Each structure stands twice: as C-alpha cells, then as structure tokens.
Amino acid sequence: MVPLGERNMSEEDIERTQMISVQDVPEEKLQVRKTKTVRRLSSTGRKLIMVLMIAAGAMVAYSGWKIWSGLRAYRKGDAVYENVSAAAYTETKTNEAPAEKKDRVSFAALAEINPDVVGWLKLDGTVIDYPVVQGSDNEYYLSHMFNGDINVVMGSLFLDCEADPKFKDRNTLLFGHHTNNGSMFCVLEEYKKQEFYDAHKQMELQTPDGDYILEPVAGRVMDAKIPFMLKQFANDDEFLNFVNGFVENSTFAADTAVTAADRIITMCTCTDDFQDARYVLICRMVPED
C-alpha cells in the first residue's frame, strides 16, 4: 500500500494537473471578443431616407391613380357613345317604314343631343361607328365627347373647323384620338397592314345632305412637326401631286385611284412610331345613289 503521506501528495499533484491557472493560458485567448460597432445614421440621413420613401410611395400612388382614372374615363366614354348610338339607330328604326329600314342614323335625334353633328362614320367589323362633329375651333372636341362631357382620352371625331360642313371641299380633314382601349380612331393604323386593307376597302359616311362610300386610297406615317395637311389646291396638278405623294409612300396598295374630278377625305390620328407621329389615311369620296 502507498503510505498515506505519499498518497496525499499524489492526489495534490493530480489536482494541480487538472487545474488551469490563468497565468498558463496564452494572452490572446483571454481577450474578450469585441462586439461589432453599430453605425447609426445621422438625423439628416434618416430624414433623407424618409423623404425618398415618401416620394417613392407618392409616385406609386400617382401611377395607380393615373391608371385607374384612365380606365374610368374609357369606361365612361364607351358608355356615352353606346348611348348615343342606341338613340340614333333606335330613332331611325322607330320612324322609318319597314322597307326603308337599314343601318342609318337619325340626324334629328343626334341634333337633339348635339347640334354640332355633321355626319356619322362607320367601318364595318371595327369599333368605328361614331358621330362626326364640327366645332368653332380644333381644340374643344379634342377633350369633349359628343354629349359635351369632358373626356381628354377619347374626345370626339371632328372636322377641321374651317371645312365645309357639307363635305364639299376638295379635301376634308377629319381628326380623332388614338386611344389605349382600341376605340375612336385607334383602328386607322391597322391600315399599316395590307391584309387589313384587303378586308376593309370601304367605309360609310352618312350626312344630313347625302351619304358617301369612302374608299381608302393611301395611308402613311407623318411627322406632325412638318406641315402635311393641305386643304386647298391651286389647280388639279397640285391636288393630284398631293394624293400621289401619299400613294407612293403608302403602307398598303389600294385598288382605287383618285382623279382630278374626285373629292377626298383625309383622316388623321396619333401613332407611336416616333414622337409626334401621325397616321394619315386618304379616302376617295363616292356619293351613294
């Protein structure tokens, strides 16, 4: 057996080997891990971020409002023109004899809604089935519908304010909006495609003084900054040169041609080909028998 004294010394030695003295630990292991420094924004920085967040929120809200108001304006505009169409066609069918019934509008009913009415334009198979008006200037009907309500996205189809309201000019100018919902004159730029012309070679223009078949002759994209809408011509050659300039640059090849004895109607609307671009369509006016 191990003597008691030696046994006690051995136990003390064991305890000492199990104990770790602070002095025996490397200094680098005793260093307390430093916490990361949190950099706080200055009051100016916080205010700047707040301003940017408010501005971004305002932009999102404004964009949403613009989309909502645009859709609302289109819905209201479509409803107005549906009501105008219903009144015009219903009046005709009520008053005409059965043998005379056809898709003809009543200008008496239209004049009760708006005395500025001068015609009705229709292109079968499309949304173009609208009244045509003429104001004292070329601004009012850009933002006013047929019933007088303000609607800047649709407005009305309107003649140039200086045009003969009976469509007796050699060239009658007709304007309408290019809309985002496909209404009004948005359809006109479909004449950029030959297949559309092939399927839509005639329009119908009704007026209080007689009706016309409109035959598209040429269409082209023009720059609104460059004058291109001639209303009067010095002679036949100037008139034919004007028409031929469109024919030579037309987006489609037409079956019909214009002679010096013809009258034309020139329709104009916006297009997104480039800034201030317009799509211009020339039609030959053929009186209906």
Q: How many domains does the chain have?
A: 1
Domain limits for position 138? 116-287
| Catalytic residue list contains 270 | yes
Rounded to an integer, the average pLDDT of 109-117 is 97
pTM for the predicted model, two decimal places: 0.75
Whether residue 139 contacts residue 202, with contact meaning beta carbons closer than 8 Å, is answered with no
Residue 218, C-beta contacts closer than 8 angstroms, at least 6 positions apart: 243, 246, 247, 249, 250, 252, 254, 281, 282
Cα 88 to Cα 126, 217, 275, distances in angstroms: 18, 29, 37
Token output for 30: 């005793």
Residue 272 lies in a domain: yes
Residue 77 lies in a domain: no
Q: Where does the pLDDT of residue 175 fall: very low under 50, low under 70, confident under 90, or very high at 90 and above? A: very high
Q: Which CATH number characterizes residue 162's domain?
A: 2.40.260.10
Residue 7 lies in a domain: no
Catalytic residue among 186, 268, 270, 283: 270
36: left (phi over 0), alpha (psi -120 to 50) or beta: beta
Residue 18 lies in a domain: no
Q: Summarize pLDDT for 216-263 with one digit per residue, the tens.
A: 999 999 999 888 888 999 999 999 999 999 999 999 999 999 999 999
